[in-house]
Structure 1
Amino acid sequence: MEIDPQILWEQYGPMVFEGAVNVIIALVMLIIGLRVAGWLADVVRRQTTKRENVDDTLGSFFASLVRWGMTAAVLIAVFGIFGIPVASFAAVLGALTLAIGLSMQGALGNIASGVMIMLFRPYKLGDYVDLAGVAGTVKDINLFQTVLATVDNVKIMVPNGEAISGVITNYSGYDIRRCDIVFGIDYDDDMDKAIAIITRIITADERAHKDPEPFVKVTNLGDSSVDISTRTWCAASDYWAMKFDLIKQVKEAFDAEGVSIPYPHTTVVKKPTAA
């Protein structure tokens, strides 16, 4: 029995045509909607960074919320094109959330941890931190992860759940830091002279705070050296530059004034044997 193509088209043609049109509209809406979501997120990020009373960290987080919220709205609208009621979609979404939640506890936990980071603010954009054993500068905080840039500019993404569940070391948490340096001198050198040299160099550095005054004391008698510890307070932004400069300047001053920094060595005593 042959089927007349015209009859098939009359029966199913309008439905196929309508379905094709809906698919095209859905694709266009999805593409445009996702682009709009990205654009709105960028607008939120730019506007918040212009306001002095809004932290950049909050701006980044709000931008992430806008992007995901708009994406969800676009998906609901796309489902609506195919005649799926929003109420039915919400019911299905609830069931899927329960099922997916059991298999994606980590992802949902990261979202909750992202909210906790925003509430308690253990770190913010621009801070140098150590999270989950990884150190770097915070570049972004979104719903799922914290993005770090290491000192050699490697991008590291730490899940928010791991970031907040472990020990967080925030090197930028306070405006002032203490710079600790230990200098070793030979046992035959004059300790007071070495202390005077170190003190002179530290006090001459404008970055070193005068209050509290720098600590320069003999703190240890090592195997090969007398150790002189220094503890100098400075602005957190000056920490590394000042530390490197002090090490170099003290070494140069020791060389110029005859104070030696010994190499590790071992003294061997040989006892005479009885004849």
Structure 2
Amino acid sequence: MEQLQAFWSGLPDLSGIVIHFGVTLAILVIGWAVSNLLGRWMRHIADRSARIDPTIVPMIRSVTVWAVRIVVLLAVLARLGVQTASLVAMLGASALAIGLALQGTLQNFAAGIMLLVLRPVRAGEFVSIGSQGSGTVDEIGLFMTRFVQVDGIQILLPNTLVWGSPITNYSRNKTRRLDIMLGVRYDDDLEAALATLRSLIDRHDDILADPAPQVMVMEYRDSTIMVNVRAWALAEKYWDVYFDLQRRAPQALRQAGLRTPIPLREVQSIPVSSQKDKTVNA
């Protein structure tokens, strides 16, 4: 009996072990849930606030969530008896080795930081990225930027390609200028055509009065005088105004009695006898 009592007394306290592991598991679960809740809370606050640029929300959310998760994992390892100081040193050395092996990925990360700091593109803007394509910016992530083309196709570009390419931003300014070329026949009334087009753009509700719209003769072609209609509109209404003028301008010219310009060629007929006389004289 004495030996049996000594054996039982030498065993570890099972209840204490269970409680210890239960607390550790609770820290892990609660910390992971808190990180997810914090990420959703940040996105919710950004969606409701007009002062927060939606471009920076995905990256800040990811950094915040994973920062909380790393702290939680370190706390769990510390409760399990792991020496976190040596673990952090080992992770630092591993991170250095991984960073050297993944230089391209780190370049994408650095380019993403530059995109967020300087903000040449923002979420919701329509841009063209050099020869890579064009579309509306949907999200700038840690390593890639997501665009949605006008046909609904999604494009993912590494941040280095976005940062290292010429960026044409069509949405940054509030207004855009549109140019429409129209043809007038040489034998039609040019002044009537100019007056008709000026009246059309002056009566258009979505064309801005400042800068003032212009109707100008641009060039002379073989059978057509090219007239340029130049007007300004809000950036979000640019394509509506453009397509509307493309439809209404030719109709207005026809209603004013002007004909649609077509290519004309002058053909001269020389009698056969004249050709023979020229040949004999030669």
TM-score tier (shorter): 0.7 to 0.9
Q: CA deviation at 1:199?
A: 0.9
- Counterpart amino acid of residue 227 in structure 2: I
1:115 aligns with 2:113: yes
Q: Tell me, which stretches of 5 or more residues in structure 1 are unaligned?
A: 1-17
CA distance in 2, matches of 1:108, 1:146: 15
Distance change (3 Å), C-alpha of 1:223 and 1:91:
farther
1:237 aligns with 2:236: yes
- 1:130 pairs, out of 121, 128, 135, with 128
- 1:55 pairs, out of 53, 77, 90, with 53
RMSD: 2.9
Q: May I ask how many residue pairs the two structures share in their alignment?
A: 253
CA distance in 2, matches of 1:194, 1:269: 28
TM-score by length of 1: 0.80
Corresponding residue for residue 258 of structure 1 = 257
Distance change (3 Å), C-alpha of 1:39 and 1:259:
farther
Q: CA deviation at 1:69?
A: 2.5
CA distance in 2, matches of 1:76, 1:222: 76
Corresponding residue for residue 246 of structure 1 = 245
Q: Give the conservation status (yes or no) of the 8 Å contact 1:178–1:232.
A: yes
**1:74-132: CA deviation from partner (whole Å, max 9, x where unpaired):** 55456557654322222222222222222211211111111111111112111111124
Corresponding residue for residue 156 of structure 1 = 155
**1:196-228: CA deviation from partner (whole Å, max 9, x where unpaired):** 111111110121111221111011112442111
What is the percentage of aligned positions where both structures have the same residue?
33
| Correspondence list, 1:58-207, <5 A | 58-76=56-74, 84-132=82-130, 133-207=132-206
Q: Tell me, which stretches of 5 or more residues in structure 2 are unaligned?
A: 1-16, 277-282
CA distance in 1, matches of 2:156, 2:72: 27
Distance change (3 Å), C-alpha of 1:207 and 1:166:
same
Distance change (3 Å), C-alpha of 1:160 and 1:77:
farther
Tell me which stretches of 4 or more aligned residues in structure 1 moved more than 6 Å.
none
Distance change (3 Å), C-alpha of 1:77 and 1:45:
same
TM-score by length of 2: 0.78
CA distance in 1, matches of 2:165, 2:215: 35
Decide which moves more: 189-198 or 95-104. Answer: 95-104
SS at match of 1:213: coil
